[in-house]
Structure 1
Amino acid sequence: MDALAGLLEGPRARGAFMIRACFEPPWSLRIEDRAPLTVMLMIRGESWITPDTGDPVRLRAGDLAIARGPDPYTCADDPATPPLAVILPGQECVYPDGRPMRGHMDLGVRTWGQRLDGSMTMLIGTYPVRGEVSGRLLDALPPLLTLPSDVWECPLTPMFTEEIVRDGPGQEVVLDRLLDLLVITALRTWFARPEAAPPAWYGALADPVVGRVLRLLQDDPAHPWTVASLAAKADVSRAALARRFSELVGEPPMTYLTGWRLALAADRLCDTGDTLEAIARRVGYGSAFALSSAFKRVYGISPQEHRTRAARSPGGVAS
């Protein structure tokens, strides 16, 4: 499991909210839905995205933007245009004064806005990625990133444009998987950009020695790894591996492994009904007690408290 595979292995898109937005200037939408990740792909025309803190960003046809929640932002034809609608959690749409819109802007299957022939068309997907494993990568993203069409060409745009307005059997699953592909393609492109700041371990995956060790740890966290056994797999000395791993990743191999195991455990506590003993065995701890002790030392709460908080919070994620 590499970094991006790990991102999507657990909380992949399931029933993600996707819509085609069609507008004619002047238009403006205030986004306060607190979505963990929102992908915006410009199909026609242009728009401005203005975060509450930061400069407005202009999107043209072919450009893509990813907003990392939960901070609000505004999408508009011009940063000065006042909002005509506010998008709240649960995709509830209201007028700026709080009155519900009650489908006022519905234009058809997964289509919303003012008019189908509007000069601006954008495909929007709110992506429900959450949890500790995803956070190890997504926390490195800026609140708003953009990929202009001159630095990447999305091969999925024609298929997305066609599929988003279909209403056939299994269509939600098709769109979920397309959204997975779009996100992983965009993030892979972004982290290769000079302005990106990926986590140290993400960059270390390209190293022939440390990258191999990282994949061993990610693929089989339950194995009783030691620095010596990892060094043997990488065909280097124990001292050489410890030094190189720490230099590139920023922490020793066993410290990284502990963090990875506990991140996996935290997500399984939220996403499954597995017993603590079963989770402990799956992620490499000899007993529920050992996992519980390590978990509380790192997260400050017990695994059961983490699971309870996740069950009570929106989307089933502990906060």
Structure 2
Amino acid sequence: MDALSMMLAGSRAEGAFLLRSLLDPPWSLRIEDHAPVTVLVLVRGSAVVVSDTGQTENLEAGDIALLRGPDPYTVADQPDTPVHVLIDEAQNCATVDGSPLEDMSVLGVRTWGNSTSGQTVMLTGTYRLDSYVSGQILDSLTPVAVVRRSMETTPMTTLLEQQIAADGPGQEVLLDRLLDLVLISAVRTWFAANPDRSPRWIKAYEDPIIGHALRLIHNRPEHPWTVAALAQEAGCSRAAFARRFTNFMGIGPVGYLTEWRLSVAADLLADPARTVSSIAREVGYSSPFALTTAFTRHHGVSPKAFRQTRRPPQWAETAANSRVQ
């Protein structure tokens, strides 16, 4: 498995909140749902995205914007259009002054807006939760990562557009997987266009020595790896391997192995069926006490406390079944 596939494997939509918006100007939506990541596809027209981080991006038809949370943002026809609609963590909508949304209404399955045709049409997919490991990818993105229309992404966005307003058997699962496809194609296209933002391990995976060692670590974190063992597997002397690894990764082999194990452990804690003891074995620790000690040192909280923080926020509990009112 390549580096990007490895990191994105845990970033899968589950009952994601999906919405098609049909809008005639003037319009301005203020989003304060604090979602880990939102995928916005502009199907028709134009729009501007303004993040609270200060980044502003113009979108044209076919563009994708990856909006990295938890910072709020505004999407509008023009940057100076006053905000009219506020959307909160539970995907509830209200006007700025709290009055009823008389000009915005439900227009069909997963569809709303102020027009039945819409000069601007956009699709929004909000991920409920995000993998801790996949977060290493998302943290490398700018707050608003824009991917311009391309042959790489258009087939994915076209499928999502075709299916988002349908309501057949298995539709939620189908839409989740289509949203995953849009996210993955957008992320890899963005990194190809912004190599300076790519995480170190993407380039390191291309190196025949360090790439091989990373695959061993990523695929078998439970193995009792040592620097000498990794160097032998990579066909390199211990000293040369350690220097080369540190130059590529900015951290030594043992340090990286520890970080990876504890990142995987953080993701495994999201599964309530797994005990700390079983997770310890899966990531190469001799006992739950050893894992707890290392985990607390690295993450700042115990595995038990960390597991409690992974419970979905308010918007995640209701997004899958909600409809914009």
TM-score of the superposed pair, with normalisation by structure 2: 0.91
Residue equivalent to 2:247: 247
- Counterpart AA for 2:291: L
CA contact (8 A) 1:26 1:77 kept: yes
Cα distance in 2, alignment partners of residues 311 and 57 from structure 1: 32
Residue equivalent to 2:110: 110
Against the structure 1 CA distance between its residues 144 and 230, is the aligned structure 2 distance closer, same or farther, given a 3 Å change threshold? same
Residue equivalent to 1:238: 238
Residue equivalent to 1:138: 138
CA contact (8 A) 1:190 1:196 kept: no
Q: Deviations over 1:98-147 (max 9, x none)?
A: 34649952110111111231111111111234242122221111111111
Q: Which moved more, 1:12-21 or 1:121-130?
A: 121-130
| Structure 1: runs of 5 or more not aligned | none
Q: Deviations over 1:152-211 (max 9, x none)?
A: 542212211111111000001001111111111111111112364122122211212111
Q: Does 1:301 align with 2:301?
A: yes
Residue equivalent to 1:77: 77
Cα distance in 2, alignment partners of residues 225 and 257 from structure 1: 8
Matches within 5 A, 1:60-75: 60-75=60-75
Aligned identity (percent) is 49
| Aligned-pair CA distance for 1:258 | 0.5
Q: Does 1:28 align with 2:28?
A: yes
Against the structure 1 CA distance between its residues 153 and 310, is the aligned structure 2 distance closer, same or farther, given a 3 Å change threshold? closer
- Counterpart AA for 1:71: D
1:122 is paired with a residue whose SS is strand
| Structure 2: runs of 5 or more not aligned | 318-325
| Aligned-pair CA distance for 1:8 | 3.8
> What is the number of equivalent residue pairs in this alignment?
316
TM-score of the superposed pair, with normalisation by structure 1: 0.92
CA contact (8 A) 2:277 2:287 kept: yes
Q: Which moved more, 1:156-165 or 1:306-315?
A: 306-315
CA contact (8 A) 1:3 1:137 kept: no
CA contact (8 A) 2:42 2:61 kept: yes
2:154 is paired with a residue whose SS is coil
Matches within 5 A, 1:75-224: 75-99=75-99, 101=101, 104-149=104-149, 153-194=153-194, 196-224=196-224
CA contact (8 A) 2:103 2:114 kept: no
CA contact (8 A) 2:49 2:58 kept: yes
Against the structure 1 CA distance between its residues 196 and 39, is the aligned structure 2 distance closer, same or farther, given a 3 Å change threshold? farther
Higher relative contact order (CA 8 A, sep 6+): 2
1:25 is paired with a residue whose SS is coil
